[in-house]
Structure 1
Amino acid sequence: MNEKNTNKLKILNDPIYGFITIPNALIYDLIEHPYFQRLRRISQMGMSYLVYPGAHHTRFHHALGCMHLMQKTVHILKFKGVEISDEEANALYIAILLHDIGHGPFSHALEKSIATGINHETISLKFMEALNVDFKGKLSLAITIFKGDYHRKFLYQLIASQLDMDRLDYLKRDSFYTGVSEGNINSERLITMLNVIDDELVVEEKGIYSVEKFIVARRLMYWQVYLHKTGLGAEKQLERVLMRAKELVLNGAKLPASKAFNYFLTNQIDEANFTTNTLKIFAKLDNYDVLASIKEWISNDDFILSKLSESLINRILPKVVLQNKPFRKEEVQRVKDLVKNNFNLSNKEVNYLVYNGKICNQAYDSTKNTIKLLFKNGDVKDVVEVSDHFNIQALSKPVNKYYLCYPKK
């Protein structure tokens, strides 16, 4: 091995798994690329740090964790006699490393307010295609697998399914950084139980309890963390700050913002006009742009923008009421009238301070990409079919809750 390659086989220390190795020079160069380094400045959990103070880990962390789990999985599957070529293995590492590269700052809020015409999955693919040009076609197989176009289905399932490396890492990682121990799954045990039958990913039957724990952990993490009502209120408030900023800018107002952020505030972004140039500007956008701008907007003359920005920065979050049935229109209108009169707002403006909607939690979807168990006699069955866990069947049904947000005072 030459000197150049030796220097690139680095070892990283991860608080979840211990040492993570970078398998080859190409992956090292991808990690070093500015497009990937940007993920150090993109929070993994958006506004959740306002509820769980430790939740400051980044998408950079998560991507490396996923790659580490993929290396372990490839090793286990090859040990069990599943043929995976070196080229396929490397393509898997690249695809899972880059699977979230298209996330913007506070990604889900951004997609609902500033860049509403394109989602992060599409942007991830655009980043991968741009990197493929930079790396002279070395990402082609990874892109084919990532898109689900490769003839070996199980390779795609390792990247995107109900038991993929993405979920195995983020549940364990988010559980660690929030301190919510209910999400702490045994990813190592699950990976050790994986196998491939008829080109499909399966879990050997003795792994059934780990699968049950994984599904239950997913449900608990959604209610306790991802859909936590205070976190939900903060996320929705951020959406409204961004929506108000975009509305003001499109009506001719000048707002302080970085060049990259200003581009997305002043332009209507969708898939059709998301050019190579747009991608380069997007690659300069991160959490710091958004938070620095919101801090500046506190002193803006617009009451709505100023109030929402100050509330978010100083954690004066809205009251969030959650219930199992939709709120009646009269009920929502009554709250709107109270807030409208209190702050002297128009009918349009009050919608920035009072809003309602629906959240959904479905821990397991028994209709697609199901988790299949392999029995000693060769039978392959869906986990719902064979689990005696009283909850698994119930967890495969979507649970809807309805929220109403309004200022506390």
Structure 2
Amino acid sequence: MKQQNKHKILNDPIYGFISIPSEEIFKIVEHPYFQRLRRITQMGLSYLVYPGAHHTRFHHALGCLHLMQKAVQVLRSKSVEITDLEEDALYKAILLHDIGHGPFSHALEYQIIKKVTHEQLSLHFMNHLNTQFNGSLTLAIQIFRGEYHRPFMLELISSQLDMDRLDYLKRDSFYTGVAEGNINSQRLITMLNVVDDQLVVEEKGLYSVENFLSGRRLMYWQVYLHKTGIGAEHLLQSVIKRIKELIEKDIFVELPKNLGYFIKNKQPDFSSKDLERFALLDDSDIIMTLKWGSEHKDIVLSELCKMILNRQLLKIKLSDKPIPQEKVDKHLQRFISNHNLTSKEASYFVFSGVVHNTAYTKIQPIKMLNKNGKLVELIKAGKEDSFKALLNEVRKYYCCYPKLQD
């Protein structure tokens, strides 16, 4: 018979020892739904750019739990009332906030299941777990849905300065080796406070917040929106798109059972059976699909799969201005003539697009608490031009095409 460890301590490369605060939370961590996160890569295909980026959603969720424990300790030390039930709910909500991610995380969001976000899937999982744990996740779900009367609790989970962002920036920085994301999360948490049930940052943490936002912006351009990563994710998305087209033409494509179910079933209802099927999906299903697809008779599918498996990626050029359509068409026509493909087939290998990022938005603004007890919005609190620059949206346009054309 399996014994339960009532007080589990895990060793994390970022924070050192992480403790699981209760036996029930340990049981949630041991649940197959949560264990699946060990097989979901945190950063999609970023390991094709940064070889160390093989960390998982499991790592990230436990890191967020650790930071939430620190945040609760800090807020209580500042006389913010947090009951034991609220504390437990915060831990469960942050632990499960990403449980709905599918294979390769954001890289395939909306591709396997259209129009359903990972947050919506996380909620389905949380509701299902709530029945298995006798309703003990009810408050966590209320907080996660933004229905609880103390808004700062949701802000600790989802905002511009939440435990999710504080962990993934530091963790992704560590595993990629990109130093710009190595933020001082402990310093930021120490500066948190609550006023009228709203999460605020004390004035002395102003420049720590600026460093955090600047670091996040740099991580987006150096890591999350790295041009090679963009091209690789497009290829992976194109694999799923091509498989769907072939299936619609009654052309057989070998697929893992559960992945095949969702690709063929356009409107899953997420009954308990659908949720169980989704809970069996992970990165290995996609890897097997790529291996099988690389041997398919369809040249488009086989080439797309081989390019990802062998890291023979497309060339991608960035521009501050939109890519002229005639330039894209030139690459497209050259590829068509060299490989005897139709225009539609060639479009899998030659395409253009745009990516954008804003370091800070005034939607759900970060509020600073000054020495006089007044709340000031971040951009107004920071007098330097560098704070106003955080509001600027940066857009980068790109064109992808096979390297052999150069």
Query: TM-score range with shorter-chain normalisation?
Result: over 0.9
Q: Residue in 2 aligned with 1:249?
A: 247
Distance 1:262 1:77, change over 3 A: same
Equivalent residue in structure 2 for 1:370, among 365, 381, 388: 365
Q: Residue in 1 aligned with 2:260?
A: 262
Cα distance in structure 2, aligned partners of 1:332 and 1:256: 33
Quote how far apart the aligned CAs of 1:5 are: 10
Q: Residue in 2 aligned with 1:327?
A: 323
Equivalent residue in structure 2 for 1:347, among 343, 347, 352: 343
Secondary structure in structure 2 of the residue aligned to 1:361: strand
Quote how far apart the aligned CAs of 1:389 are: 4.1
Cα distance in structure 2, aligned partners of 1:218 and 1:329: 32
Equivalent residue in structure 1 for 2:149, among 148, 151, 160: 151
Q: Residue in 2 aligned with 1:395?
A: 390
8 Å CA contact 1:113–1:240 kept in 2: the answer is no
Q: Residue in 2 aligned with 1:29?
A: 27
1:384 aligns with 2:376: no
8 Å CA contact 1:117–1:269 kept in 2: the answer is no
Q: Residue in 1 aligned with 2:6?
A: 8
Gap regions ≥5 residues in structure 2: none
Distance 1:261 1:6, change over 3 A: closer
Quote how far apart the aligned CAs of 1:6 are: 8.0
Quote how far apart the aligned CAs of 1:76 are: 0.6
Cα distance in structure 2, aligned partners of 1:147 and 1:251: 41
Distance 1:183 1:329, change over 3 A: same
Q: Residue in 1 aligned with 2:80?
A: 82
Q: Residue in 2 aligned with 1:286?
A: 282
The amino acid across from 2:372 in the alignment is: N
Deviation readout 1:172-216 (Å, 9 max, x if unpaired)? 000000000011000000001100011111111111111011010
Secondary structure in structure 2 of the residue aligned to 1:352: coil
Q: Residue in 1 aligned with 2:310?
A: 314
Larger mean CA deviation between 92-101 and 316-325 belongs to: 316-325
Secondary structure in structure 2 of the residue aligned to 1:19: strand
Q: Residue in 2 aligned with 1:57?
A: 55
Equivalence map 1:228-247=2 (5 Å): 228-247=226-245
| TM-score normalized with structure 2 length | 0.97
The amino acid across from 1:393 in the alignment is: K
Equivalent residue in structure 1 for 2:163, among 154, 158, 165: 165
Larger mean CA deviation between 21-30 and 250-259 belongs to: 250-259
Equivalent residue in structure 2 for 1:17, among 15, 31, 41: 15
8 Å CA contact 1:38–1:284 kept in 2: the answer is yes
Deviation readout 1:329-384 (Å, 9 max, x if unpaired)? 2222121111111111112112111111110111111x211111111111111111
8 Å CA contact 1:5–1:25 kept in 2: the answer is no
After superposing on structure 2, the runs of 4+ consecutive aligned residues of structure 1 that deviate more than 3 Å are none
8 Å CA contact 1:112–1:239 kept in 2: the answer is no
Q: Residue in 2 aligned with 1:225?
A: 223
8 Å CA contact 2:169–2:216 kept in 1: the answer is yes
1:195 aligns with 2:190: no
Gap regions ≥5 residues in structure 1: none
The amino acid across from 1:335 in the alignment is: H
Equivalence map 1:33-182=2 (5 Å): 33-182=31-180
Q: Percent identity?
A: 57
Larger mean CA deviation between 187-196 and 243-252 belongs to: 243-252
Secondary structure in structure 2 of the residue aligned to 1:75: helix
The amino acid across from 1:381 in the alignment is: V
Cα distance in structure 2, aligned partners of 1:276 and 1:321: 45
Cα distance in structure 2, aligned partners of 1:311 and 1:149: 46
Secondary structure in structure 2 of the residue aligned to 1:20: strand
Secondary structure in structure 1 of the residue aligned to 2:385: coil
Cα distance in structure 1, aligned partners of 2:184 and 2:230: 28
The amino acid across from 1:128 in the alignment is: M
Cα distance in structure 2, aligned partners of 1:222 and 1:159: 20
Cα distance in structure 2, aligned partners of 1:269 and 1:358: 29
Secondary structure in structure 2 of the residue aligned to 1:391: helix
> What is the root-mean-square deviation in Å for CA atoms of aligned residues?
1.4
Give the total of aligned pairs.
403
Distance 1:15 1:95, change over 3 A: same
